[in-house]
A and B are shown apart, each in its own frame.
Chain A
Amino acid sequence: MSTLVATNKKSFGATLWDYLTTVDHKKIAIMYLIAGGFFFLVGGLEALAIRWQLVQPMNDFVSAGFYNELITMHGTTMIFLAAMPLIFAFMNAVVPLQIGARDVAFPFLNSLGFWLFLFGGIMLNVGWFTGGAADAGWTAYAPLSTTSPGEGVDYYVLGLQISGAGTLMGGINFLVTIVNMRAPGMTYMRMPLFTWTAFVASALILFAFPALTVGLFLMMFDRLFGSGFFEANMGGNAVIWQHLFWIFGHPEVYILALPAFGVFSEIISTFSKKRLFGYTAMVFATVLIGFLGFMVWAHHMFTVGMGPAANSIFAVATMAIAVPTGIKIFNWLFTLWGGSIEINTPMLWALGFIPTFTLGGMTGVMVAAASADYQFHDTYFVVAHFHYVIVGGVVFALLAGLHYWWPKMFGTILDDKLGKITFWFFFIGFHLTFFIQHFLGLMGMPRRYWTYLENQGLDLGNLVSTIGAFLMGVGTIFLLINIVKTTMKNEKVGGDPWDARTLEWAIPSPPPFYNFKQLPLVRGLDPLWVEKTEGRKGMTPAEPIGDIHMPNNSFLPFVISVGLFIAGFGFIYQKNDLSWLTLVFIGMGIALGAMLTRSVKDDIGYHIHKEDLQKEAEES
């Protein structure tokens, strides 16, 4: 394994095996992108079905029960199976390159994290085919969730448990990568903002996901093994679920939003041809938002009856988040100020994001006023608020990042004209869909209801909202066309198509599997720009060409994930028939056996030899 992998075309089987066993963070990024993109389309179709049901009063496009499944799966899919993995796609593709690392700290865990996410996501959706998906809302509040009949909620519980474990591994991996594997000279205060936000988001994952793990375990014990955590008859308390869920769920918002801020910071700085205004303040604001994100979970529970003292504390803590977020908004504006701005697709998304997200933030402060929240709670006002934040912040960032980093990931560039068409359809459609929902909510339209009466003042608003949703769908179709067209044309671009500033653009697109032939010497913020202003084309190396240590591929992560997937079915169906426990033993046996194999087999990787690197350099 010491020679460089040949670049000629491989058979389909070989390629498939390559992806099933890969531990290369760039290939894992592509898999996250494909899987997350697929679930994004699934969640989008669910959203369109919801909007079609609400297009007119007393509609009967779907049944009430099916509608519950649609809203539950739309929320769950979009948060856990689309937004998170797509964020992970960019973190995998970009973070090691931005800090000048050859790899992530734990390549094996990285691959395991992906497969756990994928099999957890599949498990969540299996419910659709076995008599009904989860239908208790994406928040799965007890006792609604503990009493929901069938297996839908069981699939929710076990699917999220499996994919959550994968996410936790990803978080730890990025934390260690960023702490330990930065290139010489890459101090913390020289790290690009996307890496900073990935760092803080990973810390949030680390401290937020275990709370979800516990919540899901308690739910699983209640549903499958007869315990009584949320069962009032046994002395249980359903509010515990809400606390655990939101101790996870609120930081989750920032796990998504912070990397989104990072994406925009990169894009705005690159296409304004300026270093980011107030870099230090941006870092400080990122850390502060991350910290405050943990202090505010109970603002989701103002109407539970925690009392005025608790409500006030959480209200004030919540409003405090507006301060660092405001710092960020102004820093982006000041970065634009006086820059030589180039407006292309990624930049359009960034420019669209600023006012959209600001609106979402403002309604956030409104909802954070505990007394007023009694009016907003569980209405479309809240629906509008969080879609402004999650779509206007996170999805815009994902689409911006997709256009921005596509050349780095695939070596081709997405068509700018089609990208702009995508933007305008999506952007206008988005505001049509959700702006009007603020007013629908203020007029009393409740969230999660599958239909409404006519002549209540809700007809026109809902019609407009549905039209907007379909415009977003059209925008997505243009994005798909763009991707297919670009891939078919396969026009290669160089390493630095945007004339960008950070390290990932200093190497070819797509990068070689060892990333950096020689580790770069970082001499300031925006290291590539530093070199360019001094008249050099690439980075100054920090080391002579030498052997590069690489990890071995492994099939075990896939096997472990399959094992847990199988065991999941055993856990679910043993509640009907104990003989299903056999599946638990088989599945756990496979998973634990694979883990044992992993730990008793020495796997110290291999080296790419200096001579091969030099030969390759001469040939190219």
Chain B
Amino acid sequence: MSEQDVLNPKHMPHNPEKATLEGKNKFIGFWFFLGGESVLFASLFGTYLALNDSTNGGKGSEELFGLELVFIMTMLLLTSSLTSVYAMYHMKNNDFKKMMVWLGITVALGLGFLCFELYEFNHYIHEYEFTMRSSAFGSAFYTLVGFHGGHVVFGLLWFISLMVRNAKRGLNLYNAPKFYIASLYWHFIDVVWVFIFTVVYLMGVL
């Protein structure tokens, strides 16, 4: 396939994200990468589970966590996964404009989640003086949830730079895989949050 066919395809195939060899490589490579990321988060979860009672005499999870806040955060993030599915649906139909709209909604929801998380951390630190240095539990909590938050920040920057970059060029076989794997990444973040919601917050409060 020549450069022209990749950047200005005459017609878009139904699965533009894996129509070229480069696209296929990105597609499979990213799935492998997510396999590695699973081990990363599994290790962090293991560490958290080993240390979640080691409060060193300080505040424990029952006293800290409030499910109302976490419920809102969960809803925001789960919904953002759904909206990114809509975006990919429109990508496959070669409707660039609608894809961008739904990606914009995804980013907005992600930003909302992030604001709540910042509020939550800030609240713990100033209200309860609960920090990474308070206890092994504090270290494990901020590291696990913070790693997830860091992934959210990276994902948002990724979406935004893709959208800004491609705003004027529309969809082609070169950037379709990029949009696709960014949305895969976003789903992964969502799945990790479901585990955090269960293991950290639900198990911490109930």
On A, residues with C-beta under 8 Å from B are 105-106, 168, 172-173, 175-176, 179-181, 206-211, 213-215, 217-218, 221-222, 225-229, 231, 233-237, 240, 243-244, 247, 547, 596, 599-600, 602, 604, 607
Min C-beta distance of A301 to chain B, whole Å? 14
Q: Which of B7, B28, B132, B165 contacts A604 (CB 8 A)?
A: B7
Contact B51 A236 (CB under 8 A): yes
Contact B51 A235 (CB under 8 A): yes
Which 3 interchain pairs have the tightest Cβ spacing?
Answer: A235-B54, A227-B139, A210-B40
When A226-B133, A227-B133, A231-B136 are in contact, do A179 and B56 touch as well, CB less than 8 Å? no
Contact B50 A235 (CB under 8 A): no
Residues of B within 8 Å of A233, CB to CB, are: 56
List the count of A-B residue pairs having beta carbons below 8 Å apart. Answer: 126
Residues of A within 8 Å of B55, CB to CB, are: 235
Contact A172 B39 (CB under 8 A): no
Q: Which of B6, B47, B56 contacts A229 (CB 8 A)?
A: B47
Residues of B within 8 Å of A206, CB to CB, are: 32, 35-36, 39
Across the two chains, which residue of chain B brings its CB closest to A233?
B56
Min C-beta distance of B39 to chain A, whole Å? 4
Contact B39 A229 (CB under 8 A): no
Residues of A within 8 Å of B6, CB to CB, are: 604
Interface status of B15 (Cβ within 8 A of chain A): no
Across the two chains, which residue of chain B brings its CB closest to A600?
B165
Contact A229 B7 (CB under 8 A): no
Contact B44 A214 (CB under 8 A): yes
Interface status of B143 (Cβ within 8 A of chain A): yes
Place the interface of chain B in its size category: 35 or more
Residues of B26-63 whose CB lies within 8 A of A: 28-29, 32-33, 35-37, 39-40, 43-44, 46-47, 50-51, 54-56
| Chain B interface helix/strand/loop/mixed | helix
CB<8 Å pairs between A and B, sample of 12: A168-B36, A173-B29, A176-B32, A180-B28, A206-B35, A214-B47, A228-B56, A229-B51, A235-B55, A235-B56, A599-B165, A599-B178
Contact B43 A229 (CB under 8 A): no
Min C-beta distance of B34 to chain A, whole Å? 10
Residues of A within 8 Å of B3, CB to CB, are: 604, 607
Across the two chains, which residue of chain B brings its CB closest to A603?
B174
Min C-beta distance of A168 to chain B, whole Å? 6
Residues of B135-160 whose CB lies within 8 A of A: 135-140, 142-143
Kindly state the separation between the CA atoms of A243 and B50 in the bound complex, as whole angstroms: 11
On B, residues with C-beta under 8 Å from A are 2-3, 6-7, 21-22, 24-25, 28-29, 32-33, 35-37, 39-40, 43-44, 46-47, 50-51, 54-56, 132-140, 142-143, 161-162, 165, 174, 178
Min C-beta distance of A506 to chain B, whole Å? 22
Contact B39 A207 (CB under 8 A): yes
Kindly state the separation between the CA atoms of A225 and B51 in the bound complex, as whole angstroms: 18
Residues of B within 8 Å of A168, CB to CB, are: 36
Besides A221-B132, A604-B7, 12 other CB < 8 A contacts? A176-B25, A176-B32, A180-B28, A208-B39, A211-B39, A214-B44, A229-B140, A234-B135, A240-B46, A240-B47, A240-B51, A607-B3
Contact A596 B161 (CB under 8 A): yes
Q: Which of B25, B36, B139 contacts A221 (CB 8 A)?
A: B139
Kindly state the separation between the CA atoms of A24 and B135 in the bound complex, as whole angstroms: 49
Contact B32 A229 (CB under 8 A): no
Contact B132 A237 (CB under 8 A): no
Contact A247 B51 (CB under 8 A): no
Across the two chains, which residue of chain B brings its CB closest to A104?
B25
Q: Which of A105, A218, A227, A600 has the most CB of B within 10 A?
A: A227
Contact A180 B21 (CB under 8 A): yes
Residues of A within 8 Å of B161, CB to CB, are: 596, 599-600
Q: Which of B43, B47, B56, B142 contacts A234 (CB 8 A)?
A: B56
Kindly state the separation between the CA atoms of A222 and B132 in the bound complex, as whole angstroms: 10
Min C-beta distance of A241 to chain B, whole Å? 10
Contact B137 A235 (CB under 8 A): yes
Contact A237 B50 (CB under 8 A): yes
When A600-B165, A602-B174, A604-B174 are in contact, do A229 and B35 touch as well, CB less than 8 Å? no
When A217-B143, A229-B51, A236-B136 are in contact, do A105 and B29 touch as well, CB less than 8 Å? yes
When A106-B29, A235-B56 are in contact, do A210 and B165 touch as well, CB less than 8 Å? no
Kindly state the separation between the CA atoms of A215 and B47 in the bound complex, as whole angstroms: 10
Kindly state the separation between the CA atoms of A247 and B32 in the bound complex, as whole angstroms: 19
Q: Which of B29, B43, B133, B178 contacts A214 (CB 8 A)?
A: B43
Contact A234 B136 (CB under 8 A): yes
Residues of B within 8 Å of A105, CB to CB, are: 25, 29
Contact B136 A228 (CB under 8 A): yes
Residues of B within 8 Å of A175, CB to CB, are: 28-29, 32
Residues of B within 8 Å of A240, CB to CB, are: 46-47, 50-51
Kindly state the separation between the CA atoms of A227 and B147 in the bound complex, as whole angstroms: 15
Contact A236 B139 (CB under 8 A): yes
